[in-house]
Amino acid sequence: MKAKLRKVAAKLPLRVGAALYQEAQIEMTESKRRVPVDTGVLRASGLVDVPQSDGRNITVTLSYGGAAETYAIIIHEDLEMFHRVGQAKYLESVLDESRPYMLGRIAKRLHLDEED
């Protein structure tokens, strides 16, 4: 499946970028459900950047920061901090959970079948 996806990416980078972007939006939505909330600034700062292509690599960046830049990393990394709403590792946990399924989800968006 990885080989098929690489071939499609080489031929149709915009299509693969669009599939990555759609999946990243789903991940960001779930991440925002997990973000600790005090004033809502951190949650509102979550962004999905447009796909970027660097040679054969296509990437989509998910990030938090903006007005919450000074504390976004602290809130994300501090496992000892108490949160009435949300949790630490609010972005990392989502991506870790999705990692085993992401390739298949992207392939499905691109209509790649295992038998092709």
**Packing angle of the helix pair 2-11, 92-109 (nearest 10 deg):** 70
From first to last of its 116 residues, what are the pLDDT tens digits of the chain? Answer: 677 777 777 778 889 999 999 999 999 999 999 999 999 999 999 999 999 998 888 999 999 999 999 999 999 999 999 999 999 999 999 999 999 999 999 999 998 865 44
Element (H, E) at 57: strand 57-59
Structure tokens at 84: 């009435």
Q: How many helices (H) and strands (E) are present in the chain, helices listed first?
A: 5, 4
Using CA atoms, how far apart are residues 50 and 107, in angstroms rounded to an integer?
19
The pTM is what? Answer: 0.88
Q: Domain segments of the chain: what residues?
A: 2-103
Backbone φ and ψ of 91, nearest 5°: -100, -45
Question: Which single residue is written with the structure tokens 């499946």?
Answer: 1
